[in-house]
Amino acid sequence: MTAVAPATVPVYTAPPWYRRAKTWQMVARYAVAVGLTIIFLFPVYWIFIMAFKTPEEVFASPPIWAPSSLQLNSFRKLFQDGEVISVWNSLVTAGVSTLVAMFFGTICAYSLARFRTGGNNLAIWIISQRMIPPIVIVFPIFMLYAALGLIDSFFGLIVLYTAFNLPYVIWMMRGYIEDIPLELEQSALVDGWSRWQMLWRVVFPMVKGGLFATAVFAFIFAWNDFIFALVLTRTEVTTFPVKVTSFFGQQQTFWAKIGAMSILGTLPIFFAVAALQRFIVRGISLGAVKG
C-alpha cells in the first residue's frame, strides 16, 4: 500500500478590497439597525421617565434626559384619585371579551373546518366582517346602544369587542384546526370519547399554541381600542386609553400622570406578550405560510 498524498485543495482567499467592503457593509447594517431601534424605543423611554419626574423636571428646558430621582408621586395620585380604575375597566372588557370570543370562535372554527359548515363561502364572509373600519359603524352603534341603554356599561363594550374579535378568532382557529391530522380526532372518537370530550382532550391541546397567539391578538385589539370606548362610555367604564386623553386639559396637561397611566396600561400587555412570546411567533409564522 502506498500512502496517498493528501490532495492540495487551493483555498480561495478573497482579495483585501473585497473583505474591507464586506466589513463596512456589516458596520453600516448594524448602524442602521441601532439607529432604528433608538428611534422606536425613545418614545417608550420618554413616557417611562416622565412618570417618574417632578413637575419641574417635566417642563424643564433644555429637557432632562435622565431624572435625578424616581418620584412615585404620579402613581400615588392615580391611585388616590381612583383614576387607576380605568386600567381595571380595560382588563375586564378586554379580558372577558377575549375569553368569550375564544370560546365561541374556536367552536365555530371547528364547525367550519370539520363539518364544512357554510361550504366554502361562509368563512370568507365571516372574516369580511372584520374588514369594516370601526369608524363607519361607531355612530350607528351609538344610536343602537343609546336605544338599548347599553351606553357606559361593561356589557355593551364586551359585546362589541366580542363581535369584533369573533371573525378574527374564527379565521385564525380554523387554520390551526385544519392542520390537526384528522386521524387524531377519529381515533379518539373510536376510543370512546364524545365529540365535545374529544374537542377538549384532543383539539384544544393540539392547537394550544394557536389559541394563545390568537387570544393575545384579540386581547390587544380590545385593549387598544379607542374610538368605541370614547363614544360608548362616559364615566362608569372609561377604559385606560380614553382616560389618558382626559389628562390633556385646556389649562394644564398632566404629563406625569399621562406617563404613569401609560406605564400601568402597558404592563399587562407587556407581561402577556412576554409570557406567550414563543406561541405568538409561531402563530404569526404559521399564518404567514398559509396566507
Partner 1 sequence: MARVRLSGLHKHYGALHAVRGIDLDIPEGEFTVIVGPSGCGKSTLLRTVAGLEEADEGAIEIDGEVVNDLAPRDRNIAMVFQNYALYPYMTVFENIAFGLRARKFPKPEINKRVQEAAELLDITEQLVRYPRQLSGGQRQRVAIGRAIVRDARLFLFDEPLSNLDAQLREEMRAEIKRLHQDLGKTMIYVTHDQVEAMTLADRIVLLRDGLIEQQGAPLDLFERPETRFVAGFLGSPTMNFVPATLEASDGGLAVRFAEGTTLPLPPTRAQAVRSRAGSAVTLGVRAEHMSRANDAGTREGLAPLNVTIDLVQPTGSRTYATFNLADTAVSAELQAHDVRGPGEKMALLVDMNRIVLLDPETDRVL
CA distances from 98 to 85, 159, 279 (A): 20, 10, 17
Query: Measured from the CB atom, is 102 or 188 closer to partner 1?
Result: 188
Query: Measured from the CB atom, is 108 or 202 closer to partner 1?
Result: 202
Minimum gap (Å) between residue 207 Cβ and partner 1: 11
Query: Measured from the CB atom, is 37 or 117 closer to partner 1?
Result: 117
Rounded to 5 degrees, φ, ψ at 195 are: -60, -40
Q: Report if residue 188 touches partner 1, rule: CB under 8 A.
A: yes
Interface characters, 101-140, with partner 1 (x: CB under 8 A): ----------------------------------------
Q: Report if residue 63 touches partner 1, rule: CB under 8 A.
A: no
Burial (0-12, 13-18, 19+ Cβ within 10 Å), 190: exposed
Report, in angstroms and rounded to the nearest whole number, the Rg of the chain calculated over CA atoms: 27
Query: Measured from the CB atom, is 29 or 116 closer to partner 1?
Result: 116
User: Residue 160 in contact with residue 228, Cβ under 8 Å?
Assistant: yes
Find the binding residues for partner 1 in span 192-251 (CB under 8 A). Answer: 192-194, 197, 201-202, 205-206, 208
3-class DSSP state of 92? helix
**Identity of the residue numbered 188:** A
Minimum gap (Å) between residue 212 Cβ and partner 1: 14
Interface characters, 146-185, with partner 1 (x: CB under 8 A): -----------------------------------x-xx-
What are the start-end ranges of the H helices in the chain? 16-51, 55-59, 73-80, 85-114, 121-130, 134-148, 154-178, 182-191, 195-198, 204-206, 208-224, 227-232, 240-246, 255-275, 277-290
User: Judged by CB under 8 A, how many residues of this single chain contact partner 1?
Assistant: 18
Query: Measured from the CB atom, is 23 or 186 closer to partner 1?
Result: 186
Q: Report if residue 191 touches partner 1, rule: CB under 8 A.
A: yes
Residue 278 cell numbers, joined:
414563543
Query: Measured from the CB atom, is 56 or 183 closer to partner 1?
Result: 183
Q: Which stretch binds partner 1 (CB under 8 A): 42-50, 113-121, 188-196, 227-235?
A: 188-196
Distance between CA 32 and CA 17 in Å, rounded?
Answer: 23
Distance between CA 261 and CA 226 in Å, rounded?
Answer: 15
Residues at the site binding partner 1, with contacts judged by CB under 8 A:
181, 183-184, 186-194, 197, 201-202, 205-206, 208
